[in-house]
């Protein structure tokens, strides 16, 4: 049986005999089958029966089926509908569009639509800069995907990606008050994706790229940044990098080490891994070893595409070769954005004293956190059911809020660094400990603090739309 989670919670409608111990007997059976009862609601009562809705968290679909079977076998119990609460939450989608202006009578109609709207349309055509003042563009972001790398589920295509992108848009609204809309494209051709986003860009003040597989995501981002006059942010890359750097900043405080002195081993060289590496190096990290499924990236490898080649040439100063497990010996920090259960207990035990383990593969981490915690001083994952969740929602709402408030045309590395520093600072020194290195996503100061930091940098830079050359900056740091 797996650990019960609300993401696999069910509600069972059933009838019980009207007996004093009926409900307690029911909850005992459910918990004996591996469920965790979270609510029992009596919807109807008769002389001889109770109609009850019992809600319980389960460990997955197999666990849910076993729980229902156990309840069905109870004497005197009649099973009704069984509802998956996650699917119920998605019925009809998670988004809607509402008018900000009332349309109550003919005067309202004349102002909101024709003929009044014609004056505004002509004005915006003559003065395009006023679109951000007079249209939805002011506060609107496109969440763009091709469905090629959805969560940890792989290539699900545009329809499979839609529930995730709806969720992303809902988070934009909840945490930053931003109107975001999912654009799930029915193509995985780089040229077509770039052209499509370019054509729809006039509606939006920013583009959030999401769940696009590497290495195509790198080219798509580069080209869109070059061709558009609005900020382009790939959350899988830069959102993950911001939160990882913020968490590492505070974890290093906990263990009393400095980023320029530690040995860092990173598993994963895709979109997230690439951005994390660049931000770590811009923050002063000098000894970073990156691994992929075939082992350590080093200059002698001949099986690397251009992005991996860059990593091999700009990391691994000690010239390590071999496997991830070999690279972890004596390392101070492990950062995983790769695959489940690829790090052994022995490998974590071989790390340096007071080590840091960020096992962020989702939903199953590179090593189970309770095992890593036997040896590491600080452990973090990407999951919400463990301490220290490294979650992109800590970053992207505030980043875009700051970009939109500054009317920025670009995303720069200085903005990303400022966001990470601001996010780390939300956790005060008197609050900091091994199980609290990043704030809760529901901490009300997270979005505002990150937004202000990004806005300040954006307004200070205020220069022609061009991204900063991270490669040149890293080369300068290494020199």
Which residues pair with residue 150 across a beta bridge? 154
- Beta strands 179-184 and 140-145 are parallel
Pure H helices in 300-395? 306-313, 324-328, 345-349, 369-372
SS3 content of the chain, % helix, strand, coil (to 5): 45, 20, 35
Q: How far is CA 337 from its chain centroid?
A: 12
∠ CA(190), CA(166), CA(407), 5° rounding?
A: 70
CA distances 106 to 98, 109, 111, Å, are 19, 5, 9
Residue 24 structure tokens: 């307690």
> Per the residue annotation, which of 8, 69, 94, 113 is the catalytic one?
113
Q: Name which of 388, 403, 385 is nearest 450 in CA terms.
A: 403
Q: CB count, 10 Å around CB of 147?
A: 26
Query: Tokens 């679909």, residue?
Result: 61
Distance between CA atoms of 284 and 347, rounded to whole angstroms?
26
Pure H helices in 177-263? 190-200, 216-227, 240-255
Helix (H, G, I), strand (E, B) or coil at 183: strand
Which residues pair with residue 274 across a beta bridge? none
Cis peptide before 234 (omega within 30 of 0): no
Q: Would you call 113 a catalytic residue per the annotation?
A: yes
> Per the residue annotation, which of 69, 94, 137, 168 is the catalytic one?
168
Collect all residues with Cβ–Cβ distance below 8 Å to 293 and sequence separation of at least 6: 338, 339
Distance between CA atoms of 354 and 295, rounded to whole angstroms?
25
Q: Would you call 253 a catalytic residue per the annotation?
A: no
9 neighbors 59 (Cβ within 8 angstroms): no
Q: Name which of 261, 248, 438 is nearest 356 in CA terms.
A: 248
Which residues are part of the catalytic machinery?
113, 168
């Amino acid at each position: 049986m797996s650990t019960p989670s609300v993401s696999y919670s069910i509600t069972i409608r059933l009838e019980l005999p009207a007996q004093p111990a009926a409900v307690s007997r029911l909850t005992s059976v459910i918990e004996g089958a591996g469920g965790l009862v979270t609510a029992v609601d009596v919807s109807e009562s008769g002389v001889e029966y109770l109609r009850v809705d019992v809600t319980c968290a389960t460990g997955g679909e197999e666990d849910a089926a076993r729980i229902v079977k156990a309840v069905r076998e109870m004497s005197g119990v009649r099973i009704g509908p069984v509802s998956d609460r996650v699917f119920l939450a998605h019925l009809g989608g998670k988004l809607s569009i509402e008018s900000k202006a009332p349309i109550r009578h003919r005067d309202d109609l004349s102002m909101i639509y024709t003929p009044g709207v014609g004056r505004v349309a002509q004005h915006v055509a003559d003065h395009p800069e006023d679109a951000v003042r007079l249209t939805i563009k002011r506060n609107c972001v496109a969440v763009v995907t091709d469905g090629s790398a959805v969560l940890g589920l792989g290539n699900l295509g545009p329809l499979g990606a839609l529930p995730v992108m709806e969720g992303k848009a809902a988070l934009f609204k909840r945490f930053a008050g931003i109107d975001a809309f999912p654009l799930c494209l029915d193509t995985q051709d780089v040229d077509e994706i770039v052209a499509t986003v370019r054509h729809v860009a006039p509606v939006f003040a920013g583009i959030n790229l999401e769940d696009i597989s590497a290495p195509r995501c790198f080219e798509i981002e580069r080209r869109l940044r070059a061709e558009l006059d609005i900020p382009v942010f790939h959350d899988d890359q830069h959102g993950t990098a911001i939160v990882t750097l913020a968490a590492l900043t505070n974890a290093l405080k906990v263990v009393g080490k400095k980023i320029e002195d530690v040995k860092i081993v990173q598993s994963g060289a895709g979109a997230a891994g690439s951005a994390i590496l660049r931000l770590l190096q811009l923050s002063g990290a000098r000894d970073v070893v990156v691994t992929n499924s075939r082992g350590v990236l080093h200059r002698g490898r001949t099986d690397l595409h251009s992005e991996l080649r860059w990593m091999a040439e700009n990391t691994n100063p000690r010239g390590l070769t071999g496997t991830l497990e070999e690279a972890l010996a004596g390392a101070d920090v492990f950062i995983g954005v790769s695959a489940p259960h690829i790090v052994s207990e022995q490998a974590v035990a071989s790390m340096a004293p007071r080590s840091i383990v960020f096992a962020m593969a989702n939903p199953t981490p590179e090593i189970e956190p309770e095992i890593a915690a036997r040896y590491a001083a600080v452990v973090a994952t990407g999951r919400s059911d463990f301490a220290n969740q490294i979650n992109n929602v800590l970053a992207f709402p505030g980043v875009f809020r700051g970009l939109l408030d500054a009317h920025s045309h670009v995303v720069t590395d200085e903005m990303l660094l400022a966001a990470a520093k601001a996010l780390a600072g939300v956790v005060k020194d008197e609050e900091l400990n091994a199980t609290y290195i990043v704030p809760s996503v529901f901490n009300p100061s997270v979005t505002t603090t990150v937004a202000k930091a990004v806005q300040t940098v954006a307004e200070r830079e205020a220069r022609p739309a061009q991204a900063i050359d991270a490669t040149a900056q890293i080369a300068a740091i290494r020199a």
